[in-house]
Amino acid sequence: MFTPRLGFILFFAGTDKRKVQAVIDNVTSFSAEAHTLKQGDSDVTATYISDSPDSAGNLLMSATIGGLATLPAGYYRYFISGTHDGKVSTWYWDILVLARDISQIEAVPTEDYRPLIGEVVMYEGDSRNLSVTIPGLDFSAVTGVFKIGDTDVTSTHCNSSASASGEVLTTHNIGGLASIPAGVYGYFISGTHSNSDAITTYYWRVTVLPKQSVI
């Protein structure tokens, strides 16, 4: 039975990109490949992708999705076609791109990976660095952003810099520059993989509480 769906890809808007691949059963090799990135009925391939798909034996490899420009929030589908055995067959990945806005993130699909690192509770006046280890990945660079809703407040409340060391990603010193008012924030950290084929985003949900007694 032919199953065209190869999987699901989760992106965050403004940072992420990815190459994906899949082994195709009952195929020995491909002689040609083609691709299309669609948002609804619109072909947006040339807007967000600059390279081409490839293959090795029965392994199909996508282009760098988001390599030319990052994808805005929304739903997409990446189609990849391979010529084999005198015919052309097409498969696809579903793509969901989320805004880096904690107020818009509810139930995040985990078919691809789990982007939520954890829930952090702080009080007004507190500061801290957060870090996460992503087993099996090696990061060469990192960016971090601290947001309330869609507003970037990194430069208002954070000092030092986000950093990457092998499998470990570390945030700015959150609250180190100025006290954070009570509210619910998101800290989004995006790591560039050492092969430069992908940028992946993770996040913490940060709740800042006021210092007050029970009234």
pTM above 0.85, yes or no: yes
Q: What's the pLDDT at 108?
A: 85
Listed in order, strand segments (DSSP E) in 74-137 are 74-84, 87-98, 116-123, 131-133
> For residue 102, is it within any domain?
no
Please choose, from the candidates 160, 165, 145, 156, the residue with its C-alpha nearest in 3D space to the C-alpha of residue 206: 145
Question: Are the C-beta atoms of residues 27 and 82 closer than 8 Å to each other?
Answer: yes
Cα–chain center distance at 23: 23
Residue with tokens 């899949």: 22
Task: Assess whether 15 and 82 both reside in one domain.
Answer: yes
pLDDT for 59 beyond 70: yes
Listed in order, strand segments (DSSP E) in 106-211 are 116-123, 131-133, 139-148, 151-152, 158-159, 163-165, 168-170, 173-174, 183-193, 199-209
Residue that terminates a domain, selected from 97, 130, 153: 97
Q: What's the pLDDT at 61?
A: 97
Q: What's the pLDDT at 70?
A: 96
Residue with tokens 């985990």: 110
What is the DSSP pairing of strand 168-170 with strand 163-165?
A: antiparallel
Residue with tokens 């208002």: 156
Residue that terminates a domain, selected from 97, 127, 145: 97
Q: What CATH number did the domain enclosing 129 receive?
A: 2.60.40.1220
> For residue 114, is it within any domain?
yes
Q: 124-166, pLDDT tens digit by residue? A: 999 999 999 999 999 999 999 999 999 999 999 999 999 999 9
Q: 67-123, pLDDT tens digit by residue? A: 999 999 999 999 999 999 999 999 999 999 999 999 888 878 889 999 999 999 999
Q: What CATH number did the domain enclosing 40 receive?
A: 2.60.40.10
Q: 1-45, pLDDT tens digit by residue? A: 778 999 999 999 999 999 999 999 999 999 999 999 999 999 999
> For residue 53, is it within any domain?
yes
Give the DSSP letter of residue 154: H
Task: Assess whether 12 and 32 both reside in one domain.
Answer: yes
Residue that terminates a domain, selected from 73, 97, 121: 97
Number of domains in the chain: 2
From the CB of residue 119, how many other CB atoms can be counted at a distance below 10 Å? 9
- Could you tell me the two tokens for 126? 């507190």
Q: What's the pLDDT at 215?
A: 59
Give the domain range for residue 51: 5-97
Share of the chain above pLDDT 90, in %: 92
Give the whole-angstrom CA distance, residue 40 versus residue 214.
Answer: 51
Question: Are the C-beta atoms of residues 102 and 115 closer than 8 Å to each other?
Answer: no
Give the whole-angstrom CA distance, residue 40 versus residue 42.
Answer: 6
What is the DSSP pairing of strand 163-165 with strand 32-39?
A: unpaired
Task: Assess whether 77 and 154 both reside in one domain.
Answer: no
Share of the chain above pLDDT 70, in %: 99
Give the DSSP letter of residue 14: T
pLDDT for 172 beyond 80: yes
> For residue 126, is it within any domain?
yes
- What is the residue-averaged pLDDT of the chain? 95
Q: What's the pLDDT at 152?
A: 97
Q: Which pLDDT band holds residue 196 (cuts at 50, 70, 90)?
A: confident
